[in-house]
Amino acid sequence: MSSPRWQRWLHQPRSDPLRGALYQVHLWIGLATGLYVLVISVSGSAVVFRRELTRWLLPDGSVPESGYPLALTVLEWLVDLHDNLLAGTVGRDFNGIGAILVTIMVLTGAFIWWPGRGRWRRSLVVVPPSKTRRFSWHLHSAIGLWGFVLMLGWTLTGIYFAFPEPFEWFFNTFDSDPTDFERPGEGILLVFIDLHFGRFGGLTIRILWVILGLLPAALFLTGFIVWWKRMRQKRSYER
């Protein structure tokens, strides 16, 4: 008699066909959205200090007759790239679709990461390259695990910024008292929005957010290396 699926996944996840299917979903979404992830990741890190730079370059809040300083022009271009993909409302919609796809990738990645009950502790750290041939895989897995909550928050708020209506409908549906200005679940979304922009703490958090904002780019690059190495190995076996 075969063991239940949840037990098989708990102890021997690689033998579960569902894991293989989710791996394919994760892989192809990652390859399809790679350029998008790089653009959003890098541009997001680049605009973390937008408010501080604006106050520094325009201390009185007024635009000089000569126009915006070049640094602010570039900064606002990056903001538009990050928010709207330089395409207005259409770009914002595409951004929302991209966020949905990356959300699926984050969730499937968490499922795929599980190595089994006896191995999960070893998957929390990155094994040095000198001790393994799968360094890229270990690095990809560790970044995905430790950055899971942050990246899930970024993608969910990215969906909200593009398509707020479903979220508002959900909050209103479970609000028994519309006069109290408090809706169940909305507080969690507001926390994720603060996480999205790093709007808490001080300078240390802002600097940290510049670095952490590059996690999606690092995940794509390490994931691409893992895929490329497997493709090369497959081709060598076929020869």
CA–CA distance, 235 with 81 (Å, rounded to integer):
38
Give the percent of the chain with pLDDT over 90: 50
The per-residue pLDDT for range 195-218, each reduced to its tens digit, is 899 888 888 999 999 999 999 999
Q: Note the pLDDT of residue 177.
A: 79
Where helices occur in 14-65 by DSSP H, the ranges are 17-32, 34-46, 50-57
Indicate the average pLDDT of the chain: 87
- Looking at 13-22, 67-76, 84-93, 205-214, which range is the least confident one? 13-22
Q: Which of 1-10, 49-58, 90-99, 110-119 has the highest mean pLDDT?
A: 90-99
Token pair 């501080």 is found at: 52
CA–CA distance, 196 with 80 (Å, rounded to integer):
16
Q: Note the pLDDT of residue 1.
A: 44
pLDDT at position 37 over 70: yes
Number of domains in the chain: 1
CA–CA distance, 209 with 109 (Å, rounded to integer):
22
pTM for this entry: 0.88
Kindly report the number of other CB atoms within 10 A of residue 108's CB atom: 20
- Looking at 35-44, 54-63, 70-79, 91-100, which range is the least confident one? 54-63
CA–CA distance, 167 with 160 (Å, rounded to integer):
7
Structural domain boundaries, residue 23: 5-238
CA–CA distance, 10 with 114 (Å, rounded to integer):
8
The per-residue pLDDT for range 107-166, each reduced to its tens digit, is 999 998 888 776 777 777 777 776 677 788 889 988 999 999 999 999 999 999 999 999
The single-letter DSSP state of residue 180 is S
The single-letter DSSP state of residue 201 is S
Query: What token pair was written down for 184?
Result: 């169940």
pLDDT at position 233 over 90: no
